[in-house]
Amino acid sequence: MQEWLNASAGDLGRGIGVGKIDPVDLTETYLEAITAHEFTPRIYARLTEDRARAEAKAASDRAKAGQRLGLLDGVPISWKDLFDSAGVGTEAGSALLAGRVPDRDARVLRNATAAGLVCLGKTHMTELAFSGLGLNPVTQSPPCLNDTSAVSGGSSSGAATSVAFGLAACGIGSDTGGSVRVPSGWNDLVGLKTTSGRVSLDGVVQLCAKFDTVGPLARTVEDAALMLAALEGGRAADLRGATLAGRRLAVLRDVVMDDLDPKVQAGFDAALDAFRAAGAVIENLSAPEIPDAMELAGLLYTSEAYGTWGKMIEANPTAMYPEVLTRFRAGKAHAAHDYVAGWLKLDALRQTWARRTAGFDAVLCPTAPILPPEKTRLESDSAYFTERNLLTLRNTRVGNLMGSCAVTLPTGIPSVGITLMGQPMQEERLLRLARGAELALQPKD
């Protein structure tokens, strides 16, 4: 049964479907692994054992009766602690929300439950999701899979590590500036950033509603596709026959290729070579609108974040980690007319980007330009925290600013991911392309 802990969600579902795996046994295997694991207190904020067991028993009964709800019926997953869960604390990694217990599930959790997925519990995260590092001295800072002295990436830190350490078949997180893709990249997972407005935010604790998105952190592209369908109550993308042959891919050269860690550069270059070998046509792309959009990020993000949380923060500022508090308070400096003008400019830049990239199947860049920083230095060096946080989120933020959907894939070098950005609302097309890329990146015999 231990092999179940590292199996894909799709494979677990197929095992249930043919009677080789009972959802009750599968859930108990996960719960036992969670109980025994040394890093569980740093990964899970709270478990939902009673709910998990009840959902697993119902899935088992359906399987025995030949009435399964779908491929993922009976598969156990984790949820970032900003998705409302009825009767269970949802605190978004913040002492400001300590004791907050919603009375109903978020819509995406309701949809996933309706698809038969089993809720294992809620995972730790950065305070109110406002950092890409995964450091949270207020609650817990999950460790990186490849270096447990380093941070795991955020803000969906526990979502990623629950999967990476074999404590969930998939994790559900959110992405506002990179919060699904960074921890996925640093923990060698597939992470899907959906288009803003596609997946429901009903019952999701907000950071910046105009940028917030919901997405899975998974072991495979298939799992990401299956989970997207479950979150929406829809049908998964058809990945059969996926290939890179003849696909036209662009390598973005503006901003995202600056100051790369040598291992990141090596992983990215090796991935490009694998894509070319699989038949992809790869071209360089210069997009002057990207640096222009980057200049708007501070204005747009901090204004909305502080507008959303400022009153609660100022009522109890000492409850917040100082570095995150400083990020929120930066929003106080911006005038309303500058914020409106900023969005008008970004909308125009998005149109330019859409025209420039329309002829490509995807735009490529390294997921994060650096490797996971060491936790204790981040805690002791304020300037280092600020510099590493901004650099960590630099590349992923392109997808949010441009309104793209995006997926990160592991390159084979630990903690190095490659990102494919697609057009808005074209997740199924992007996932099919990502499956071709995933196949190209698999080690050759």
Q: Give ∠ CA 365-157-187 in degrees, rounded to 5.
A: 50
Q: Band of the pLDDT at 109, cuts 50, 70, 90?
A: very high
Which amino acid makes up residue 67? Q
**Among residues 8, 60, 78, 80, which one is catalytic?**
80
What's residue 1's pLDDT? 84
pLDDT given for residue 32 in this prediction: 98
Concatenating the DSSP letter of every residue in 327-379 gives HHHGGGG--HHHHHHHHHHHHHHHHHHHHHHTT-SEEEEES-SSPPPBHHHHH
Range 336-355 average pLDDT: 98
Whether 200 sits among the annotated catalytic residues: the reply is no
Over range 25-54, report the average pLDDT. Answer: 98
DSSP assignment, residue 142? P
Is pLDDT at 376 greater than 70 in this prediction? Answer: yes
Whether the pLDDT of residue 206 is over 80: the answer is: yes
Burial of 16 (0-12, 13-18, 19+ CB in 10 A): buried
- Chain-centroid distance, C-alpha 254: 24
Cα–Cα distance for residue pair 34/48, rounded to 1 Å: 12
Amino acid at 341: A
From 155, 184, 303, 404, active-site residue = 155
The domain limits of the chain are: 2-232, 248-290+335-441
Residue 152 CA to its chain's centroid (Å): 12
The answer as to CATH 3.90.1300.10 being correct for domain 2-232 is yes
217 dihedral zone (left: phi>0; alpha: psi -120 to 50; beta): beta
Q: Which amino acid is at 205?
A: V
Residue from 162, 179, 196, 415 carrying the catalytic annotation: 179
Helices (H) and strands (E) in the chain, counts: 15, 13
- Please compute the mean of the pLDDT values over residues 309-319 and round it to a whole number: 98
Tell me whether domains 2-232 and 248-290+335-441 share a fold: yes
Active site residue 157: no
- pLDDT per position as a tens digit, 155-179: 999 999 999 999 999 999 999 999 9
Model pTM above 0.95: yes
155 is catalytic: yes
CB-based contact 415:185 (threshold 8 Å) = yes
Give tens-digit pLDDT for 116-166.
Answer: 999 999 999 999 999 999 999 999 999 999 999 999 999 999 999 999 999
- Please answer whether residues 140 and 246 qualify as being in contact, where contact means their C-beta atoms are separated by less than 8 angstroms: no
Compute the average pLDDT of residues 322-330: 98
Instruction: Give the domain 248-290+335-441 fold.
Output: Amidase signature (AS) enzymes (3.90.1300)
Residue 445: the pLDDT is 66
